[in-house]
């Protein structure tokens, strides 16, 4: 079962072997290379891993989650830098940001492309630890996977 751990600034902190195999190609070098919101709009491999529909869903969630993170940490220079970089680089980000959606998605059905096994369907669940502002993503293989 792929499992990832993220912080409240939307950075990927850890991933087990299954998650690294499944999602590792999304990570990029640079200061925001592990930030989920940044990767949603800048990684060249997003559509390869999540497909066109998944990329649209990820963009919507990422902009919304970034808005939540910035409201939780209004003085965080890193989050403001992520926002500025995305606003400068990505028209798609600007379109999603202008929708002003705020929220956190706790579960979803995801279709992900595994580099060796092809397209697999997962039920994802986000478990949040509010005290430490960390969250764990569990990717449970769907019964038709």
The whole-number pLDDT of residue 9 equals 95
Report which secondary-structure segment, H or E, holds 65.
helix 46-72
Per the structure, the complete domain to which residue 89 belongs is given by 3-141
Given strand 118-129, what is the order of strands in its sheet?
12-15, 3-7, 134-141, 118-129, 107-114
Number of independent structural domains in the chain: 1
The reported pTM is: 0.89
Enumerate residue ranges in the chain where pLDDT < 50: 145
The whole-number pLDDT of residue 130 equals 85
**What would the pLDDT profile of 33-42 be if each residue is shown by its tens digit?**
999 999 999 9
The whole-number pLDDT of residue 29 equals 85
Q: What CATH number does the domain containing 102 carry?
A: 3.30.450.180
The whole-number pLDDT of residue 18 equals 93
């Amino acid at each position: 079962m792929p499992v990832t751990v993220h912080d409240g600034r939307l950075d990927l902190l850890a991933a087990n072997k299954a998650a690294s195999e499944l999602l590792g190609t999304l990570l990029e070098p640079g200061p925001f290379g592990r930030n989920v919101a940044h990767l949603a709009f800048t990684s060249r491999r997003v559509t390869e891993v999540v497909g066109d529909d998944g990329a649209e869903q990820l963009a919507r969630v990422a902009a919304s989650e970034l808005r939540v993170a910035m409201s939780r940490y209004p003085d965080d220079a890193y989050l403001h830098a992520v926002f500025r970089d995305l606003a400068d680089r990505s028209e798609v980000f600007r379109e999603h940001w202008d929708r002003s959606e705020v929220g956190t998605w706790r579960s979803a059905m995801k279709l992900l492309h595994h580099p060796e096994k092809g397209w697999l369907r997962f039920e994802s669940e986000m478990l949040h630890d509010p005290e430490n502002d960390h969250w764990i993503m569990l990717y449970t293989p769907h019964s038709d996977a």
